[in-house]
Amino acid sequence: MSDQFKSQLMASNKLPQHIAIILDGNGRWAQRQGKRRVMGHKAGVDRVREVVKVTSELQIKSLTIFAFSSENWQRPADEVSLLMELFFTVLSREVNKLNRNNVKLKIIGDISRFSEKLQKKIAKAEEKTAQNTGLMLNVAANYGGRWDITQACQKLANQVALGEILASDITEDAISEHICTAHLPPLDLMIRTGGDCRISNFLLWQAAYTELHFTDTLWPDFDERELHNILAGFADIERRFGCTGEQISAPTKEK
């Protein structure tokens, strides 16, 4: 990214403050090269590193990546096992670099299904970066949007059962306060690589007014230039949130 282009994007004041990415196409990328699918996942780690660098430089507040869905357990057992090993290795290798760059790491999802060894590694990585104030990097692992909404509702239902709140207190705002991304800015932009035009049970609650971008590019081929183009396109979008274009463009009247 040229410094001039970076400056233009930042000066536009229209950058998304929370980006989510579905990292699709790793396995197909490897297969097209005659390699094992896991090699595509390894190549995809380099792209994650690059995107983290770019979003940090642009002072974007939050980046959420879909690393492993709750449905991915259905994949071949050897691939799942290798993915778990890769997740552990990446956490071990990258956490010091993230910490040096003031990136705060958070794993979102139901990590109880992971091995005790991996759960401990996750806890240590989160603890190490907990005080950082730069980019919030959220890795969705064993995550599903329906699960997220369900667990939020279960927490609220438990509060009702204990007499702490009334059923009428279960509002949209209350649910939003209990989903996994409650600590993050609203989701502005969701990108999916790999050619499929669906969000695959990712951040369902959060995506209500999210701008969606689908690209045919396989994740290991996704580069800084393509991300720049997507961000430039986002800056040109008129986001209305249910209002009319005239309402959005009308000057604010001073009281």
SS3 category, 135: coil
Task: Give pLDDT, residue 52.
Answer: 96
The per-residue pLDDT for 238 is 77
Taking the chain (255 residues) in runs of 10, the rounded mean pLDDT of each run is 65 87 96 92 94 95 94 88 89 94 96 93 96 96 96 98 97 97 96 97 97 98 95 84 64 50
Q: How many domains does the chain have?
A: 1
Domain presence at residue 20: yes
- Within a domain: residue 122? yes
pLDDT confidence of residue 65:
96
Does residue 243 fall inside a structural domain?
Answer: no
7 within some domain: no
Residue 172 domain-assigned (yes or no) = no
Q: Which residue has the tokens 């509702």?
A: 153
- Which alpha helices (H) appear in 71-191, and where do they start and end? 77-100, 116-129, 145-161, 172-176
Is residue 169, in this structure, part of any structural domain at all? no
Residue 254's pLDDT is: 47
Within a domain: 254: no
Q: Is 24 exposed, middle or buried (0-12, 13-18, 19+ CB in 10 A)?
A: buried
Give catalytic residue positions: 24, 72
CATH number at residue 86: 3.40.1180.10
Distances (CA, A) of 168 to 71, 157, 176, 182, 232: 33, 11, 15, 20, 42
CB atoms within 10 A of CB 160: 14
Domain interval for residue 40:
16-144+186-234
